[in-house]
Structures are given as C-alpha cells and as structure tokens.
Amino acid sequence: MNRIAVPTVSTEQMQEVDRLMVEVYHIELIQMMENAGRALATLARRLLDGDIVDRPVVVLAGRGNNGGGGLVAARHLLNWGAWVQIVLAAAAETYQGVPGHQLAILQAMAAPLAWAEEGWELPPADLVVDALIGYGLSGDPRGSTRDLIELANSSAAPILSLDTPSGVDAGTGAIFIPHIQAQATLTLALPKRGFLQQAAAAACGELYLADISVPQALYLQMGIDAPNLFARDSIVPLAVAEGAIWSMQQA
C-alpha cells in the first residue's frame, strides 16, 4: 500500500477552485456536478458490494449544488437498476439553476420523488445518500434539512455523504447540531481542512476522494502542490493520521 500525503483546502480555496474551473478553464458547473454525482453513485454501488439491482436506496437532496450532485447520483442508480426514493429538502418548484435542471431530468424519468413533511418517515433502505448541505454550511441546520438529518441518523441504514456530512463545517471541522454520522464520505477534488479535526473525521466515517476533473494547472496557479492521485482510479480511499490526510493506494 502506497501512502501519499494529500493537501487540504479551506472553504475559501474551494470556492476559488470552483470559480477558476468555470471562468478560466471553461469547465462548467453542470460538468462538475455530473462528475461528482456519477462518482457518488459508483461509490454507493461499491458499498453495496456491487449488487445494486433492486436494492433500496434513499437519496436526500438539498436545493444547492451538493443536492444537485445527489440528484445526479440518483439518476445513475436508477439507470443501473436500484430502487431509489428521492427525498427533497423543499418543494420541487423551489429548485433552481443547475440543481433544478438535474431535478427536471428525474421528473422526466418519472423518478420517485417526495419532500420532507411533518410526521414523514424515511422508507427502509440498504443505503441512505446524504446530499443535503455541502461545504457552504453556516450554523446549525434548520427546518426540513434538520428533520431529514435526524431521520437519516435514526435509520438503520448506513449513510454515504457527499463532500462533507451535512451539519459538519468542512472548513473548520466544527460539528453542528444535528449533523450526519456517516459510514462513508466522498469528498471532491481535494479533502477539506476541517477533516483534520477528530470530531469531523469521526463524522465522515470512511473517507474517499473523487476526481471532478480539476486541471493540475489550476492547483499550481493557486500554489497548491497536489499529487496525481487519480492515475489508477477516479475514487481513492483516504486516511486521517498524524495530523495529515493520506491517499491509501495499492502499490
């Protein structure tokens, strides 16, 4: 097993990565979201031992870009034969922009859609996908998002989070109430600095990193020395140890 040190990024640096992707490298949000969502679906399939046909999966999707990635994952899982129940954090008509576009695709597919309502419970599932809140979290989750986090944590199903467990500040590692306790987290591009904090790392569970097609030149432009992590696979396992984050790859 090769252990490679992986740089971490702050919230501000991740925002700059997103900006440069669009404004300088012409890699649009819809492309990044598709890459993230397909990787999320691929990891979900791995966590279910590659057996996805007729497996019940619940996808929790917020209205932001993190939720849009969850909606992409739901589409792929449906196409691969899973039984997917998509639970929105708000009414469908409130989803705008690229996340709204992803939702419109699922609506055209007649995908099973529901949204959080008082007294509602999550259906039984083999896996819950948490795509409620991304790295832009500010303060304790509220409203229906809070309710869905609590429902997910009370479910017997393991939880797979996208980018960061909802309710965990990826930049600082602060743990808000409530927050997702994930079995696994698929973070994007580079791991977030907050994951170095013990409580945040514990909330992430098993940590993985996904390639969303960030050019090496972009990292160099930002002064980030990022190794080539995805030569063998577009999803790589990470480990937090000795005050750093490491890529754990087969030799």
Q: Read off the CATH number of the domain in which 61 is found.
A: 3.40.50.10260
Residue 193's nearest CA partner among 211, 168, 218 is 168
Give the tens place of pLDDT for each residue, 180-227. 999 999 999 999 999 999 999 999 999 999 999 999 999 999 999 999
pLDDT for 118 equals 61
The residue type of 8 is: T
pLDDT for 119 equals 66
Distance of CA 124 to the CA centre of its chain: 21
CA distance 208 to 240: 11
pTM for the full model? 0.96
CA distance 42 to 235: 9
CA distance 208 to 205: 10
Q: In angstroms, how far is the first alpha carbon of the chain from the final one?
A: 5
pLDDT band at residue 114 using 50, 70 and 90 as cut-offs: very high
Q: 168 pLDDT exceeds 90?
A: yes
State the total domains in the chain: 1
Give the tens place of pLDDT for each residue, 68-106. 999 999 999 999 999 999 999 999 999 999 999 999 999
Contact 111, 78 (CB under 8 A): yes
Which domain range does residue 208 map to? 2-249
